[in-house]
Amino acid sequence: MRSVEWVDGKLQLIDQRVLPQEFRLVTYDNYRDVADAIYTMVVRGAPAIGATAAFGMVLAALEGAARQQVLPTLETAAATLCAARPTAVNLSWAVARLLGRARLEADPMAIPQALLAEAQALADEDVEINKRLGEFGASLVRNGDTILHHCNTGALATVDYGTALGVIRTAHEQGKHIHVLVDETRPRLQGARLTAWELTQLGIPFTLIADNAAGHFMRTGQVDLVMVGADRVAANGDVANKIGTYKLAVVAQANGIPFYPCVPTSTVDLSLPSGDDIPIEERPADEVLGISYQGQTIAPEGTHVANPAFDVTPRQYISGIVTERGIAYPPFDLALARLAGDSHAAASTD
């Protein structure tokens, strides 16, 4: 089952907030609720967010057609959807692709059907891209490797299959005996809740560890490589990913362990020179304060909280960036321009 799917004229999502205790499907019939689903993390993961936003634009087109105001409604929806989570470039990329397709249609009443076909194509492409990415990434994985993984990058974070977890899945399907160390990924615990659940479904051996234990496992020789996803890659190779990724990359380099972000080329943003230009989303304080310990709140009432959802890993800590078109190695500015440049140029002319 896909994490993002168009069913009977509505958008269907797997509600990732309630996993692993409950598997729940939710449906949406308007773009405003889709934007809220993105913000509240019913759906998460850059590729999944992009596909969700694309179908949100379809819902906006249907609403606009009913009011004879298709393009104005789409413009409003585009702004609303893009504001939901600013760091993941796949969101704005997908919205721009759908908006560009709408502007090509001479008959406004034909726009909804055209956008549905475009959104479905985007979703189908995501699955195929992830599988190709998995093949390239699996070439880096040796039989017997232990892979450290942060956050969640599997089928739940994409339309299906996954990016970094897609690489791990491909290596497993190739018959390689691998083991995954799964960071909890505080404060929302995507590793403990989602990655552990996905690996269980796939039958891939794993061990859940506290985020702060990762350095210990690397220093003691129990990690062979680190594989993560990303929400945006700058033109110079700096990578924005779930908070906590930066320190993993630094410790990996200090211990001679390869560090590979695994991303579709749609996540590469050639318009941003470096990671300093990537907007970092600040999440609500209750994500940090809402965690309890032995039934009690973890901090005194009134505690001030800073809760950035992402951090930036500078390119000098990155061994290579795995994409569906191959693996980019330093110098990243040249490699990323070669791998991602033509696809982004095509998207900008839509």
Which CATH number is 237's domain given?
3.40.50.10470
Whether 286 is catalytic? no
Same domain, yes or no: 215 and 315? yes
Same domain, yes or no: 298 and 222? yes
Contacts of 350 (CB under 8 A, 6+ apart): 96, 97, 100, 101, 104
Which entry of 126, 160, 224, 231 is annotated as an active-site residue? 231
Residue at token pair 């990655």: 195
Contacts of 147 (CB under 8 A, 6+ apart): 141, 168, 178, 179, 180, 181, 223, 224, 225, 226, 227
Look at residues 68, 98, 130 and tell me which one is the last residue of a structural domain: 130
The pair of three-digit structure tokens given for residue 219, joined into one six-digit string? 């220093």
Average pLDDT over residues 275-300: 92
Q: What is the pLDDT of residue 343?
A: 56
What are the two backbone dihedrals, phi and then psi, of residue 32, each rounded to the nearest 5 degrees? -65, -45
Cα–Cα distance between 12 and 263 in angstroms, integer? 24
Same domain, yes or no: 142 and 235? yes
Sort strands 225-228 and 146-149 into parallel, antiparallel or unpaired. Answer: parallel
Please tell me the pTM assigned to this model.
Answer: 0.92
User: Domain containing 10 — which CATH number?
Assistant: 1.20.120.420
Q: Where are the beta strands (DSSP E) in the chain?
A: 4-7, 10-14, 25-28, 146-149, 179-183, 206-209, 225-228, 232-234, 239-242, 259-261, 268-269, 292-293, 296-297, 310-313, 321-323, 326-328
Same domain, yes or no: 43 and 190? no
Cα–Cα distance between 197 and 154 in angstroms, integer? 10
Q: Give the number of domains in the chain.
A: 2
- Amino acid at the residue 69: Q
Provide the angle, in degrees to the nearest 10, between the axes of the packed helices 111-138 and 46-66: 170
Range of the domain at 83: 4-130
Cα–Cα distance between 232 and 254 in angstroms, integer? 24
Look at residues 130, 147, 162 and tell me which one is the last residue of a structural domain: 130
Q: What is the pLDDT of residues 308-324, one digit of tens each?
A: 999 999 999 999 999 99
Lowest mean pLDDT among 50-54, 217-221, 298-302: 298-302
Average pLDDT over residues 56-63: 97
Cα–Cα distance between 214 and 184 in angstroms, integer? 10
Alpha helices in 105-223 (DSSP H): 111-138, 164-173, 190, 196-202, 214-219
Q: Give the CA distances from residue 195 to residues 39, 62, 97, 305, in Å, rounded to whole numbers and listed in that order.
A: 20, 35, 30, 26
Same domain, yes or no: 211 and 82? no
Query: Model confidence at 348, in pLDDT bands (50, 70, 90)?
Result: very low
Query: Model confidence at 349, in pLDDT bands (50, 70, 90)?
Result: very low
Look at residues 130, 146, 174 and tell me which one is the last residue of a structural domain: 130
Query: Model confidence at 347, in pLDDT bands (50, 70, 90)?
Result: very low
Q: Is the pLDDT of residue 345 over 60?
A: no
Same domain, yes or no: 286 and 333? yes
Q: What is the pLDDT of residues 156-193, one digit of tens each?
A: 999 999 999 999 999 999 999 999 999 999 999 999 99
Same domain, yes or no: 154 and 126? no
Average pLDDT over residues 47-73: 96
Cα–Cα distance between 350 and 348 in angstroms, integer? 6
Cα–Cα distance between 155 and 161 in angstroms, integer? 4
Q: What is the pLDDT of residues 84-135, one digit of tens each?
A: 999 989 999 999 999 999 999 999 999 999 999 999 999 999 999 999 999 9
Same domain, yes or no: 189 and 96? no
Give the helix/strand (H/E) hosting 36: helix 31-39
Same domain, yes or no: 279 and 153? yes
Q: How many helices (H) and strands (E) does the chain have?
A: 12, 16
Residue at token pair 């320190």: 247
Same domain, yes or no: 174 and 76? no
Same domain, yes or no: 237 and 305? yes
Same domain, yes or no: 18 and 97? yes
Query: Model confidence at 350, in pLDDT bands (50, 70, 90)?
Result: very low
Tell me the pLDDT of the chain averaged across its residues.
95
